[in-house]
Structure 1
Amino acid sequence: MSLGVGSVLLGRYQILRLIGQGGMGTVYAAFDQQLNHQVAIKYFRGQDAIFQSNLQREAQILARLRHPSLPRVYDLQRVGDAAFLIMDLIEGENLDSLLAQRGAAFEPDVVLAWAKALAPALSYLHHQTPPVIHRDIKPQNIIRTPEGQLILVDFGLAKQWASSNQSVVAYTLAYAALEQIQATSPVNQRSDVYSFAATLYHLLTNCEPADALTRASSLINGQPDPLVNPVNLNPAVSPAMAAVLVQAMALPANERPASIDQFIQQLQQGFYNQPSLSSAGQPTIVQRPAVATIALLEATKPALSAKQILQPQLPPQQITYQETTEMEDPLTRFLVFSILFVVGALLLLCLFAPNF
Structure 2
Amino acid sequence: MDQERLGDDDQLITTAIRRSPLAMVLTDPRLPDNPITYVNSAFEALTLYSRDYAVGRNCRFLQGPETEPEAIDRIRDGLRAEEEFEITLTNHRADGSVFRNQLLLAPIHDPQGQLNGYFGLQRNVPMPEKDERPETDDNSLHLLRELQHRVKNHLSMIVSMIRIQARREVTAESLKAISRRIEALSVLYDELLNSSGNGDPDKDLAAGAYLSRIASVVASLEPRNAIRLNVECDDISLPVDHAARLGLLLSEFVTNAFEHAFEGRDTGAVDVRFTTLDDGTVRLTVQDDGNGIPEGYNWPFGAASIREQHDRAEHSGGRLDTTGHDRVPGVGGSIVTALTDSLGAKLTVDGAGPGTRITIDL
Normalised TM-score (structure 2):
0.28
The structure whose residues are more often strand, as a share, is 2
Normalised TM-score (structure 1):
0.28
- Higher RCO structure (Cα 8 Å, ≥6 apart): 2
